[in-house]
Amino acid sequence: MTRIDAKFADLKAAGQKAFVAYVMAGDPDFDTSVQIVKGLPAAGVDIIELGLPFTDPMADGTTVQLAGQRALERGMTLDQTLQIVRELRKDDTTTPVVMMGYYNPIYSRGVDRFLQEAKEAGIDGLIIVDLPPEEDDELCIPAQNAGLNFIRLATPTTDDKRLPKVMQNTSGFVYYVSITGITGSAEAQADDVAPDVARIKAVTDLPVIVGFGVKTPASAQSIASVADGVVVGSAIVAQIEAGKPVDEVLQFVKSLADGAHKAGE
């Protein structure tokens, strides 16, 4: 059982919904990024999604793209991204961390070496948006064999024929992309999301977490009410981009987490 599996078991036993927060590793700089990541659990974050900066992030909207650029311009690397997780693990051995990004930096490092280093650093799962199920032998299967969850994205365009294939080797949870398009675009609506969450749950026992287009505590509560939890990324990254102090960023995160957690009350 991974930390992700244990977290969802605990949440289910408590009748709670999950709040997942995404931040870009190294944004706005390494030291500030460490402070933010280390502060997320106390702000109510159940699972941390840590973005791995990449030069060609095709699924990311402008806000997250710019965060990646800022991080790369500050010299952020895969090694430093892993170091942020190591810094977190000095004080926190329970909060799950999912690395989200693209395959190229992992391929360049070498899959076996990357998985060993990720596991040792304290990463629990991977979301690699440009590896479809047809490429499971590349990273998905090796990651699961190494004890990491491989979390798959499902979207509004994932039809009933495609869905079982997408779920085939998924573990940890399913990340449902609530809108068609890139991150940080339109606002997600619970009435639109609920039927697709039910459709996914019909083919998997995994928790379904909804992301993309969730920007406020009210929308976090609304979306979490029709799923097992909610992910917020761009809205948090925008606070960092605006130069808000770490404590203000974490206060904003807490407001979102409180919203999501109200959905389970």
Just list the catalytic residues.
49, 60
CA neighbor of 207 nearest in space, from 176, 161, 239, 185: 176
- CA 80/CA 84 separation, integer angstroms: 6
Q: Is 34 helix (H, G, I), strand (E, B) or coil?
A: helix
The conformation of residue 22, written as its DSSP 8-state character, comes to: E
The conformational region for residue 54 under phi > 0 = left, psi -120 to 50 = alpha, else beta, is: beta
Checking 194-198 for CB contacts under 8 A at 24+ apart, the result is: 194/226, 196/154, 196/156, 197/226, 197/227
Asked if 251 and 230 touch (Cβ cutoff 8 Å), the reply is no
CA neighbor of 124 nearest in space, from 164, 168, 173, 166: 173
Count CB atoms within 10 A of the CB of residue 201. Answer: 15
Q: List the structure tokens of 76.
A: 């952020």
